[in-house]
Structure 1
C-alpha cells in the first residue's frame, strides 16, 4: 500500500502526526460489505475555499492598512469570523458581515455606503462561481452509490448548501442530506441515530480535521481524511489518533476511495 493510501492503526504512535501506518492493513477491506459513507461537501466534493481566499485577498488590498501587515489583517479577520459565526452561523452572509466588521475595526476612516458596497462586492465572485467538482468526484460517487449508502453531511446555510448540491448534479447519488449548524461529536451521533447507522460500518469522508475527522472519530465512526491544499484556516487542527476498533484512512485523491470501498 502506498504512502498516499494508508490505513492507520492505534499502535506505535508517531508524535509528529498522532497516527501510525499499519503496513499489514490490506486495501479493499470494505468492498465486500455494504457501508454507510457520510461525505462532506465543500472542498471535499467541490472547490469552495479558493473563492473565499480570493475575496479576502481583494479585501486586504482594498484596506491597504498603513500599520498592520497583510498577515496581521488576516488574523484580525479570523477573529471577526469566529465572532460572526458564533452569532450568525456559517454562510456567505456571515462572511460579508465579517469583512465589514473587520474593516470597521481596522480602518481609520469611517464606513460609508460606498465603502460598504465595495467590500460586499468582493464576495460576488463566490456566489457567482460555477460549481467546480474536484477531480474524480462524479465518477467515484456514481460507482460508490451502487454498493454503499451515501449521505451528504455538510454544515452552513441550508439554502446555500442545498443550492450548491443541486447545481453540482450530484444530488441523485445521495440517499439523504444533512446540513448541520456545526459539526461536532453530538451532531454526528444525532445523524447516526436519525439514519439508523451502524457505527462499525459507517465512515465520514472529508478534508477538515476539525469538522470532518476528529468529531466523527469522537462519535465512534471510522473516517477518511482527504486533505485539500486550501482548507479554510479555521478548520485546521491536528488529526486525532483513532481509538481501538476504529480505522482512519488518509487518501491523496478522492478516486482512491474505490480502492477501499
Structure 2
C-alpha cells in the first residue's frame, strides 16, 4: 500500500514538472504563470484522473503540430497522463480491498463473540437465579443462659454453661439491653457478636455447622446492613442485606470464578449488573 502511494505521488510530481516545462517552453509562459498553472492542473489531475488522459492527448497533438522536435515531450506527457489514470485506479482498487479486509475482520470478530456467547450459554452452568441464604438463623431460645441482675452501675463478667457444655462470656449491664456474647449451639452452629433483647443486633459472626458463615451487620435477628455471606461450596456474596435477603448493591462470586456485580432485590440479581466470566 505504501509503495502504491509513493508511485502515485511520484507520477503527480513528475507530471506537474512536465506540465510546467510544457507551458514554459511551448507556449512561452512566464515561470510564475507556468508554475501556477501546473500546480492547478496537477491538483485537477489528482481529483479528476480522466482529465489527465484528455489533457495528455491534447498536449501531444499540440506539440506534434507546432514542432516535431518537441514530439518526445508530448509523448512523455501522454504517457504520464495515462500513468496518472492507472495509478488512480490502482489506489481505488487497493482502498476497496482494504475496506473489504476491515469489514471481514469485523464480521469475524462478531462471529467469534457470538460463538463465545453461545458457548457460555450452552456449556457453562447457569448461575443460580435465586441467591439463597443458608439455613435459618439458630433460635436464640435454644441456649440456656442465666444472666444475673445487677445494680445500674455494676458490671458483671461471668462464665455460664449451656446445654453443649461450652463456655459463654457475657458482659451485661442493667442500664442497656445491648451485650456481647460468644455462643455455641447444640447443632454445632456458633455466634460471636452483639445482642439486644436476646436477638442478634449490631456486628456479629454467625457460623453454621455445615461450614456456611455470615460476617456482618444484624438487626433484630436478621442479616441487615453490610455483610459477607460465605457458602461451604466456596460461593461468596459481599454487599448489602435487608431482612435476611440480598438487597442493594452486591458482588456474588461462584466457585468456578463467575462473578456478578450489581443490584439485588429480595435475593435476586437484577439485569442491570455486570457478569464476569473466568
TM tier, shorter chain?
under 0.3
Q: Which has the higher contact order (CA 8 A, sep 6+)?
A: 1
The structure number with the bigger radius of gyration is 2
Normalising by structure 1, what TM-score? 0.25
